[in-house]
């Protein structure tokens, strides 16, 4: 990697933190947002803003479900949320891995009316988990413009900068996954479980592992692997696996063009017939992400129907006494051992109560 130190697993947030640390002048909207929270650093200001909103949310809805409902956050902050209720496949909540077209937080949009009232719009065709992340991202933008009980008329008229997009995406994760990480032996399987329990995409949950308020400073990257449709089935499974997306700040990982290494942990968990996970210390060479890492991996889906996915998380080594874990079948939620078709149903047939809001 270009640097042995990262500030966030989300590459865009990492770059924004670096830019602020270099003394670069931040966009006006972010500077005024910081001033409104006492002039602290950006990530500190957004933690204060989201923490304040969540505190009010829990006061207003003390018996609400553990899953933070975006519709209720909008009610608390006075935001109008529009768009059809997103479909949940099969009538159940499902995990969505997150795809490149949905990663950047532009699935939704926020408008401010002539009276200064914000409206978050989620377009049709986005499933429930992606819609939740998209709506929370737009709420992040709303928080960046909020000044007490009013909104900054100057900054609401400005186009959103790349730094603002990164901070809004961080705000979305803080709102939907507010807890700090629990210590987990396998960070990849933990991220998939976190996505299920928080009803967010695996991409968002994986970013959350390495956010600046978390306590995993040694994370160096993460890659979601899928089966490459351009490689024939007769090839080895490792040759068929290619990155679908990655979170590797400072490193170049060619999406769709590189492959897994034969005999690697990623190859082994992908070869299992059910969901499987493992942790192993290995030499890694994926694009320019190179070195010896503690690799955390979790695989789910089906090879025959081409839905097999593998999430890998790369951790720098500090303790030579660490003992690697064996590859094993890995049920993650309520004894379910198989995650098929890119998704896993959770909590049986339980549905959110009507009062919990549709998002």
Tell me, what CATH number does 213's domain have? 3.30.450
Q: Give pTM, 2 decimals.
A: 0.87
Assigned domain for 259 exists: yes
The answer to whether position 123 is within a domain reads yes
CB-based contacts of 82, cutoff 8 Å, min separation 6: 119, 120, 121, 122
H/E run at residue 127: none
Q: Considering the domain boundaries, does residue 347 fall inside one?
A: no
Q: For residue 86, what pLDDT is reported? A: 54
Q: Which residues are bridge partners to 81 per DSSP? A: 120
Give the β-pairing of 80-82 and 118-121. Answer: parallel
What CATH number is associated with residue 89?
1.10.10.2910
- Determine, yes or no, domain membership for 358: no
Q: 293: which strand partners? A: 282, 316
* 353 assigned to some structural domain: no
Domain residues for 65?
Answer: 11-176
Are 208 and 254 members of one domain? yes
- The pLDDT value recorded for residue 200 is 94
Domain boundary among 144, 176, 208: 176
pLDDT at 89: 43
- At 330 the pLDDT is 56
Q: Do residues 245 and 293 both lie within one domain?
A: yes
pLDDT score recorded for residue 319: 54
Please state, in angstroms and rounded to a whole number, the distance separating the CA atoms of residues 206 and 217. Answer: 14
Same domain, 144 and 23: yes
Q: Does 212 reside within a domain?
A: yes
pLDDT at 341: 31
Please report, in tens digits, the pLDDT of each residue of the chain (359 residues total).
344 578 999 999 999 999 999 999 999 999 999 999 999 999 999 999 999 999 999 999 998 788 999 999 999 999 999 875 554 443 333 456 765 544 444 578 888 877 778 999 888 777 788 889 999 999 999 999 999 889 999 999 999 999 999 999 999 999 999 988 778 899 999 999 999 999 999 999 999 999 999 977 689 999 999 999 999 888 999 999 999 999 999 999 998 889 999 999 999 999 999 999 999 999 999 999 999 999 999 999 999 999 999 999 999 987 543 456 666 665 444 333 333 333 333 232 333 333 345 57
Among the listed residues 145, 15, 161, the one whose alpha carbon sits nearest the alpha carbon of residue 77: 145
Q: How far apart are CA 30 and CA 51, in angstroms?
A: 18
Do both 35 and 97 map to the same domain? yes
Asked whether residue 125 falls in the same domain as residue 212, the answer is no
């Amino acid at each position: 990697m270009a640097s042995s130190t990262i500030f966030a697993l989300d590459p865009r947030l990492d770059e924004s933190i670096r830019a602020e640390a270099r003394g670069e002048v931040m966009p006006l909207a972010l500077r005024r947002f910081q001033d409104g929270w006492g002039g602290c650093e950006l990530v500190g200001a957004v933690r204060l803003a989201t923490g304040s909103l969540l505190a009010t949310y829990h006061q207003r809805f003390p018996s609400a479900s553990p899953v933070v409902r975006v519709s209720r956050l909008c009610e608390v902050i006075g935001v109008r949320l529009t768009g059809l209720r997103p479909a949940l496949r099969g009538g159940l909540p499902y995990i969505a891995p997150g795809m490149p077209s949905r990663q950047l937080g532009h699935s939704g949009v926020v408008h401010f009316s002539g009276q200064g009232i914000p409206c978050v719009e989620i377009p049709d065709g986005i499933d429930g988990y992606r819609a939740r992340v998209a709506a929370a991202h737009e709420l992040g933008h709303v928080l960046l413009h909020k000044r007490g009980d009013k909104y900054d008329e100057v900054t609401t008229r400005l186009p959103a900068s790349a730094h603002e997009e990164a901070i809004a995406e961080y705000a979305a994760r803080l709102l939907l996954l507010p807890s700090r990480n629990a210590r987990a032996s396998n960070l990849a399987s933990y991220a998939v479980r976190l996505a299920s329990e928080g009803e967010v995409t695996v991409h968002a949950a994986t970013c959350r592992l390495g956010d600046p308020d978390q306590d995993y400073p040694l994370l160096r990257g993460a890659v979601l692997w899928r089966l490459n449709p351009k490689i024939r089935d007769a090839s080895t499974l490792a040759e068929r696996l290619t990155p679908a997306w990655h979170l590797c700040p400072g490193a170049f990982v060619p999406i769709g063009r590189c492959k897994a290494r034969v005999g690697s942990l990623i190859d082994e968990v992908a070869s299992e017939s059910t969901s499987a996970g493992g942790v192993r210390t290995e030499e890694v060479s994926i694009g320019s992400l190179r070195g010896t890492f503690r690799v955390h991996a979790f695989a789910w889906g089906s090879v025959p129907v081409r839905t097999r996915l593998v999430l890998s998380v790369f951790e720098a080594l500090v303790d030579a006494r660490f003992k690697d874990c064996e590859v094993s079948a890995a049920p993650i939620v309520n004894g379910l051992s198989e995650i098929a078709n890119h998704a896993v149903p959770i909590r049986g047939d339980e549905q959110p109560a009507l009062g919990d809001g549709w998002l």
